[in-house]
Amino acid sequence: MVWDAIRRFFSYEFWSYEGLQNHGVWGAIARVVIVVLPILMLVPGLIWWERRLLSWMQDRIGPNRVGPFGLLQTIADGVKLFLKEDITPTAVDKLIYFTAPALALFPAFALGGTLPWGPNKYLTPIADVNIGILYVLAVSSLGVYGIVLAGYASNNKYSLMGGLRSSAQLISYELAMGMALAGAVLASGSLTMTGMVHFQEGPWLGMVKGVQNWLILTPYGFVAALIFAICAIAETNRAPFDLPEAENELIAGYHTEYSSMKFAVFFMGEYAAMFVFSGIFTAVFCGGYHALPIDWTFAGLPIVDTANSVAAGFIFLGKVAFFFSCFIWLRATLPRLRYDQLMSLGWRSLLPLAVANFMLVGVWIVAADVYKSEMAGLVAYLIGFAVMFGVYLLVKRASADRFEGMENRGVVMNTGVEPVSLLGEV
Amino acid sequence: MPPTDELAKLTLFGALAGVAALSAVGVVAFGNAVRSALCLIANFFCLAFLYFTLNAELLGITQVIVYTGAIMVLFLFVIMLLNFGSPQFLKEPPDYLRKGIGILFGVVLFGLISSQVLMPLAKVKATTAPDDYGAPQQIGLSLFTTYVWPFEVASILLLIGIVGSIMLAKRKI
Amino acid sequence: MVPLAGYLGLGLFMFTMGVVGVMIRRNPIVIFMCIELMLNSVNLTFVAFARYGSVTHHGSGIQSAMAGQMIVIFVMAVAAAEVAVGLGIIMAIFRLRKSIDIDDMSLLRG
């Protein structure tokens, strides 16, 4: 039996086009190419866009010398990184040191397969299976390893601090992200990406026909989207949550000891992860490949729907680009959090809010089911939110004296010295 | 089922099982705790894919989320924290007698159980469960009907675990 | 199809490695990891039996399949709680004694 199978494996029929089609190999290769190639090719563009946009926001010019608008600057940087000397410090743990960048790159590309680029099934490449969202959570939770291991292997106290901070940060924010996504899953009743996009085509709040039910436009979805967005920024280690690579505290943290192309791999992984998280946000909360939250068929213009499905991929890309720009916007706007602020935000604000939201989605569904009307669900949700907020205030007041000591912990510099305003008296 | 498909399945199982077995050896054999943890991560990752080959999709993905994504990160965190404080405490002095006895015991255990359990079950090849038995719908249905009491007990256990770990971690209550 | 014995053999091997690890290692964190290895080997055995099922089972195939998967979920929950508390204990011991060698922890009162 085994010999027969081996002979078959080396036969012409197995490797001919029909044979491969039967085994799904061509299909698999095509899908992987569809997934990985765009992300790989987009990364230089994303880096260029970040630098240009950031310099515009900061009233600078930014890279504008190489190519039109400086478009080829990233390519030039890549060539430079390729040609630079690749330094491996002597005291590093070599095996782990070389594995870490690869591990940092892996999750972003593995997640790329979950993005639904359009209504056609060939545009939802890989993970359109019944565990799609769980796959997102699972793979994004692997993102921590590249950073932690890089920090450990570098044999450098600052890098290790970066790795430790990163692991604590990612564990904390993963929970809130999972609960936020769970709320969205509970509302849409589907675990697949395409199913969630399809759910968002329905009437708004289940009541208003003609408007699409984008989750970000619903009360529970808005809360979940807010939490998810904050957690996505923390998961990708972007400002204001970039403590693992804080350059003024940790000399760039976990990638201090990495030079030339290995550093570039970390860099690529970060940008690919930002792109992919923007894509997941678009798909789960912002209607996926639909341009506007309007049901054109109901409005009497089915032609617009057709146009939308033709241009689906580009619309999706445009939305992703918008949310990617929001990442950059936040970086330009917000200062970095202190470590205890970061932990406090994750554990004492986002996680309780996400759990409360998750429970209230359940309340909505049960109320809508019992009273046979979505309006009852909305009312129940709002009442529930008010009750939870009241409980929160009561708990906060009851434990105010205990939290007081915690809030004030932090570094107090220059005690006894009045802060001097550089602008004089205001 | 065509034989090539069969071969592909056997190859896949062989590769996953081989990596899992090797990394299980690595957990015990590596002197460095971080490498042991890395081997364990590889092992758990392979186990997740073995669950996929058994059509238990939800369990496989839960394995990645719970073990690879949370538990092993905690392990790495603690190892690195201890390493950060005082690296010399993670070194182990060699003890050949202990190693010899341990390995001998392991061989005996393996031989005993495999002769008593694996031999009678060697002929079992056909699967009996339906292909979609590992789907989230099926598991959810089962978890919230037949197994609702164990489920609640598990949630209480987790709550106790949370409270306990917080009490352990706080220096001053 | 892959025979059931393949999965069981792998599970048995992992379990044995876990037992050997607990016996020969002295670092409590590695011992803890070996315990996790044993738990996972048992999980693999449960899932394999769930899929191949009803060798000695009286009910229908789907029932035994569900039972096998449920126990895996509960084992995962227990393991998560165990790790949270266990690593907390190890950290507490380390804070108290500045050493985590397992052979030094033979006293009931520190």
pLDDT per residue, tens digit, chain B (173 aa), is 455 677 778 888 888 999 999 999 988 888 788 888 889 999 999 999 999 888 888 888 889 988 888 888 888 888 887 776 665 655 666 778 888 888 898 899 888 888 888 877 777 777 777 777 778 888 888 888 888 999 999 999 999 998 888 888 776 55
Which chain B residues are Cβ-neighbours of A134 within 8 angstroms? 58, 61-62, 65, 136
Q: Which residues of B lie inside 8 Å of A (Cβ-Cβ)? A: 2-4, 6-8, 10, 32, 34-35, 38, 41, 57-58, 61-62, 64-65, 68-70, 73-74, 76-77, 80-81, 83-84, 135-137
pLDDT in tens, C31-77: 889 999 999 999 999 988 888 875 444 555 566 778 888 899 999 99
What confidence score (pLDDT) does residue A1 get?
60
Chain A: residue whose CA lies nearest to B32: A93
Of B27, B145, B10, B63, which Cα lies nearest the Cα of C47? B63
C75 Cβ under 8 Å from any chain B Cβ: no
Taking only the tens of pLDDT, chain A with its 426 residues reads 666 666 666 655 555 555 545 555 666 676 677 667 777 788 888 888 888 888 888 888 888 888 788 788 888 888 888 888 877 788 777 788 888 888 888 888 888 777 887 776 666 656 556 777 888 888 888 888 888 888 888 878 888 888 888 888 888 888 899 899 998 888 888 888 888 888 888 787 777 777 788 888 888 888 899 999 999 988 888 878 887 776 677 777 777 778 778 888 888 888 888 888 898 899 888 887 888 777 777 777 777 777 777 777 788 888 888 999 988 888 888 888 877 788 888 888 888 889 989 988 888 888 888 888 878 888 888 888 888 889 888 888 887 766 555 544 444 444 454 544 444 443
Chain B: residue whose CA lies nearest to A19: B4
Chain B: residue whose CA lies nearest to A192: B136
Chain C: residue whose CA lies nearest to B54: C51
Which amino acid would we find at residue A111? L
Of B2, C44, B148, B10, which Cα lies nearest the Cα of A14? B2
What confidence score (pLDDT) does residue A22 get?
52
C-alpha dihedral over A9, A126, B12, B73, to 10 degrees?
160
Chain B: residue whose CA lies nearest to C38: B24
C52 Cβ under 8 Å from any chain B Cβ: yes
Residue A378, Cα to own-chain centre: how many angstroms?
29
> Cβ separation of B62 and A9 shorter than 8 Å?
no
Pick among B71, B80, B141 to test the A interface (most A CBs inside 10 A): B80
What confidence score (pLDDT) does residue B157 get?
92
B87 or C26: whose pLDDT is higher?
Answer: C26
What value of ipTM does the predicted structure carry?
Answer: 0.86
Which chain B residues are Cβ-neighbours of A13 within 8 angstroms? none
Chain A: residue whose CA lies nearest to B137: A130
Which chain B residues are Cβ-neighbours of A182 within 8 angstroms? none
What confidence score (pLDDT) does residue A412 get?
46
Burial of residue A80, with CB atoms counted within 10 A of its CB: 0-12 exposed, 13-18 middle, 19 or more buried: exposed
C82 Cβ under 8 Å from any chain B Cβ: yes
> Cβ separation of B33 and C64 shorter than 8 Å?
no
Asked if residues A274 and A46 have their Cβ atoms less than 8 Å apart, the reply is yes
Reading the block at residue A15, the tokens are 């490797």
Residues 6+ apart with CB under 8 A from C3: B122, B123, B124, B125
- Using CB atoms, pick whichever of B81, B106, B161 lies closest to residue C84: B161
Residue-level length of chain C = 110
Q: How far apart are CA C2 and CA B124, in angstroms?
A: 9
C30 Cβ under 8 Å from any chain B Cβ: yes
Q: How far apart are CA A215 and CA A284, in angstroms?
A: 7
Which chain C residues are Cβ-neighbours of B139 within 8 angstroms? 66, 69-70, 73
Of A275, A278, A282, which Cα lies nearest the Cα of A214? A282
> DSSP secondary-structure letter at B64?
I
Q: Given a contact as 3+ CB pairs under 8 Å, which chains touch B?
A: A, C
> Hey, which bits of A266-400 come out as E strands?
none
Q: Given a contact as 3+ CB pairs under 8 Å, which chains touch A?
A: B
> Cβ separation of B61 and A135 shorter than 8 Å?
yes
Token pair 């989320």: residue: B65
Q: Tell me the nearest-neighbour CA distance from B101 into chain A, angstroms.
A: 31
Of C42, C63, C45, which Cα lies nearest the Cα of C54? C63
Pick among C19, C83, C96 to test the B interface (most B CBs inside 10 A): C83
**Chain-wide mean pLDDT for chain C?**
81
Helix (H), strand (E), coil (C) string for A47-75: HHHHHHHHHHHCCCCCCCCCCHHHCCHHH
Chain B: residue whose CA lies nearest to C19: B106
What confidence score (pLDDT) does residue B81 get?
79
Asked if residues A108 and A276 have their Cβ atoms less than 8 Å apart, the reply is yes
Chains C and A touch (3+ CB pairs under 8 A): no
| Upper half-sphere CA count for residue B8 (Cβ side, 13 Å) | 12
Which chain A residues are Cβ-neighbours of B47 within 8 angstroms? none
Reading the block at residue B137, the tokens are 């719908």
Token pair 């860099």: residue: A267
CB-based contacts of A117-123 (< 8 A; 24+ apart in sequence): A117/A289, A117/A312, A117/A313, A117/A316, A117/A317, A118/A289, A118/A309, A118/A312, A118/A313, A118/A316, A119/A289, A119/A309, A119/A312, A120/A309, A120/A312, A122/A34, A123/A34, A123/A312, A123/A313
